Amino acid sequence: MRGSPGRGAGWQRRRRARLDLAPPPAAFPEQKHGPGEILGLTPREAQVLNLLARGYTNREIAAALVISVKTVSVHVSHILRKLGAPNRLEAAATISRLAPPPSGQSEPKA
């Protein structure tokens, strides 16, 4: 018998008979779903933008995501550039237009 000991024809049949349990590919993989994907942001940038839109400071975002303040600053710079926003307020307004808060949650009072 060739191959590994204990691996005969039965093993090969079982191997071929296995079902592929991987999920099927999406019908439209190029379709964008979340606001971050629509805006061309990385998943981490989308997380930072979500916290930024909630009014978090760079230091608070860093603590929440367990990253450095400098890394948050870089993410914010990339977000502003990608959105063409001149400041954090405009970036937050962009995301709130695309993804309003879920029902039952109100906007922060100004």
pLDDT in tens, 14-69: 666 555 555 555 544 555 567 778 889 999 999 999 999 999 999 999 999 999 99
Length of the chain: 110
- Runs of H (alpha helix) within the chain: 9-17, 35-39, 43-53, 58-65, 69-83, 88-98
**What's 55's domain CATH number?**
1.10.10.10
Asked if the structure places residue 15 within a domain, the reply is: no
CA torsion through residues 78, 84, 86, 92, sign: negative
Determine the Cα–Cα distance for residues 67 and 69; give it in Å rounded to an integer.
Answer: 7
Number of domains in the chain: 1
* 59 in Cβ contact with 69 (< 8 Å): yes
pTM check: above 0.85:
no
Asked if the structure places residue 80 within a domain, the reply is: yes
